[in-house]
Amino acid sequence: MPLWPWKRKSPRLEGFDYATEGAYFITVCIQKHECLLGRVSEGIFQPNAAGKMVERWWQKLESKFPRIKIDSFYVVMPNHFHGIVFLRASDGAHTGAPLQESPVGADPCVRPGAPALSGRAHRGAPLQKIVQWFKTMSTNEYIHGVKEYGWPQFKDKLWQRSFYNHVIRNEESLSRIREYIATNPNRWILDRENLQATGKDDFDVWLDTFNSGPQTSPGGGAPRRGGPRCPPVEARRRLGDAGEDLAAAALRKQGYKILERNYTTPLGEIDLIARHRGDLVFIEVKTRKSLRYGAPQDAVSPAKQARLHKLADYYVKRQRLGEVPLRFDVVGITVSVDGPQVEVIQNAF
């Protein structure tokens, strides 16, 4: 009988082209499920130096593979990592440091005392290249941490040989996977990667129901919907950044002290965090070019409000702030030919 009854099936869909444009849910695991990246306490993951290092390398993927987009939802856990990658239509070209040769994943035995990996080109599909580079770079820095800072050693390999991936079929699946990532620390007691798990997560049951690739076109070409397409980033990002600049300036004029901008958590991102009249204020900024689809602040739906409450709770616990008065404000900005109109709504919800 195997020691680990929840061992995953083959991590690849037979015959599926992993260069296909779409969204992919990625999981990489520490070898032998050793908890080398931190610990979970009261539903909050507390990363150690190695866990923070792994997150840094994930955040560098876009600069190394400029044709991909990493989703804002990702999470480092004690012995594994979950993230979402969007692939654009063409091959994910690589820039920066030389890539290194290996089969799928960081397969070479890179470990304290082993020779450094040679700088050669990657093989395999773009998704494999991306995960391989992530594993290789984080492994090399972990080895440095072992030698210089006394991090726990590992045998043979830091990461498991391969990686798990799930082709995200539609927006509903994307939302469910994002929710799982955001709540993963709270579900650690049921996590299949937790050797002390006391049950099975319903998310894993759902994920295991997918045993075939996405639907293909009648002519046998690329999938009709390999997953949600990589979102158009640049124009929207520029508009959002400009709106946040305007919001921050307007808030400062009203006496707000800005503490954080674009504060990223495993649950998502908070646009602005500030202090104002004794309150800790969490601020959602919405920017639109016109009122055709309603006022910008109308986009803060009940679901978005509920998520912001969760983000605020995460921030307070993470910063160990204890009992503090909280407030949720919204800044609505309309950019038109007459100039930007900024409206600050206090106690919005």
pTM exceeds 0.75 for this model: no
- The DSSP bridge partners found for residue 341 are 334
Distance between CA atoms of residues 296 and 289, nearest Å: 9
Query: What's the number of CA atoms in the CB half-sphere (13 Å) around residue 269?
Result: 10
- The DSSP bridge partners found for residue 80 are 29
The tens-digit pLDDT sequence of the chain (349 residues) is 444 444 444 455 555 556 667 889 999 999 999 999 999 998 889 999 999 999 999 999 999 988 888 888 899 999 999 999 998 765 434 433 333 333 333 333 334 444 443 334 343 458 889 999 999 999 999 999 999 999 999 988 999 988 998 889 888 888 889 888 988 998 999 999 999 999 889 888 888 887 544 444 444 444 333 456 555 545 566 777 888 999 999 999 999 999 999 888 767 789 999 999 999 999 999 988 877 778 888 888 888 899 899 999 989 988 889 999 999 999 999 887 778 899 999 999 9
Report the largest interatomic distance among the alpha carbons of the chain, rounded to a whole angstrom.
Answer: 72
Domains of the chain and any CATH numbers: 22-207 (3.30.70.1290), 234-345 (3.40.1350.10)
Tell me the residue type at 253: K
